[in-house]
Amino acid sequence: MERFYTFVFVAGVGCFGIAFVLSMVFPWMSLKEYHGMEYAKLDQLAAHPSVEFQQLEEAYPDAFKAVYPEGATPGNYAKALRAGRDLYIGQACWHCHSQYVRVVSNEEQRWGPPSEAYEYNNELNQPHLWGTRRVGPDLARLHGRHTNDWHIAHFLNPKDVTPYSVMPSYAYYFEPDGTPHEEGFALITYLQWLGTTFNPTHEQEVYPGGEGNE
């Protein structure tokens, strides 16, 4: 028993395989069964450029044109969402901010309805950005919480907006007067998108094999 092949195949491959089936294949299959879960690609998500994206174009026409010559088109919206998300990952925002609202700890009173699986079934959540640490607030329902101007002021120097803040300044993505660079446009566009996949008329989710969340 206590020989090479036992440890390669029984412990190594075998035990790993069992866990892989139970904690990956099972949830994947039950989530697939769950109604309303259709995978949305980026161009589908970006089909209708958000109001905030258009507002950025209005507020900073020249800077916007330099980055997005065609204006606030779906194609450019998709580009901005993707770049914003990449920056959110690259700057490790996700190590200070989570992106899911739980059903416990009064979180729905603070941030809105608890997150559901279908909201994450899209290209901008691959991989998901749930995070495991909240130094700052949850951002899953950020859409519409603040205006573009608020975000710009906040990125320039978080302490100007919230004096207690420990969030770093991201002033290098903006001109000193607040005009965003490409990165600034992208970041704000991405942040304003967060939570828009939530559909309030969607039936309350009942997890297959689990309890429903009333």
Partner 1 sequence: MATHSTDPQVPSDGRPLVSYPLIKYHLVAGGICVLISMLAGFLYSLQFLGYYPFPHSEALSPGHIRLFHTNFAAYGWLVNGFTGMCYYVIPRLTGYRVASEKLGWLIFWVWQFILLCMAGGFVHNRCQAIEWGETPTGFRPGSFELNWVPVDLLVTVGAVLVIVQLMVPLYKARAQKYYVTLWYFTSGLVWLALTYLMGNIIPEWVLPGAAGAAVTGLFIHDLVGLYVTPMGWGLMYFFVPLILRKPIWSHSLSVIGFWALAFFYPLGGVHHFLISPIPDYVEFGAISTTIAIEVVVTTVVVNFFMTLRGKWSALRTNMGIRWFYAGAVMYFITCFQCAFHVTWMFQKIIHFTDWVVGHAHMIMFGTFSFWLFGVIDWLWPRVVKREWYSARLKGWHFWLSTLGIAIMFLDLTMAGLIAGFMQKGLNPWSDMVTASVPFWWVRTFAGFLIITGLMCGLYNMWMTAKSDVVYVEEEHYISLAAD
DSSP letter at 95? Answer: G
User: Cβ(190)–Cβ(143) under 8 Å?
Assistant: no
Element (H, E) at 61: helix 61-67
Q: Which residues of 74-92 are buried (b: 16+ CB within 10 A; e: fewer)?
A: bebbbbbbbbbbebbeeee
Q: How far is the CB of 178 from partner 1 (least distance, A)?
A: 16
**Of positions 27, 54, 178, 198, contacts partner 1 by CB under 8 A:** 27
Question: Residue 43 or residue 58: which is nearer to partner 1 going by CB?
Answer: 43
Query: Token digits for 194?
Result: 């967060």
Site string for partner 1, 160-199 (x = CB under 8 A): --x-xxx-xxxxx---------------------------
**What, of ligand HEC, ligand HEM, partner 1, none, does residue 145 touch, CB below 5 to 8 Å by kind?**
ligand HEC
Q: Using CB under 6 A, list all residues that contact ligand HEC.
A: 88, 91-93, 96-97, 135-137, 139, 142, 145, 158, 162, 165-168, 170, 187, 191
Residue 35 binding partner 1, by CB under 8 A: no
**What, of ligand HEM, partner 1, ligand HEC, none, does residue 121 touch, CB below 5 to 8 Å by kind?**
partner 1
CA distance 162 to 143: 19
Query: Token digits for 104?
Result: 């416990």
Q: How far is the CB of 207 from partner 1 (least distance, A)?
A: 5
**Of positions 59, 137, 146, 202, contacts partner 1 by CB under 8 A:** 137
In the bound state, the residue with its beta carbon closest to ligand HEC is 136
**Of positions 39, 58, 75, 150, contacts partner 1 by CB under 8 A:** 39
DSSP state letters, 167-204: PPP-GGGB-TTS-B-HHHHHHHHHHHHTTTT--TTSPP
**What, of ligand HEM, ligand HEC, partner 1, none, does residue 47 touch, CB below 5 to 8 Å by kind?**
none
SS3 state of residue 156: helix
Q: How far is the CB of 141 from ligand HEC (least distance, A)?
A: 9
CA distance 129 to 85: 9
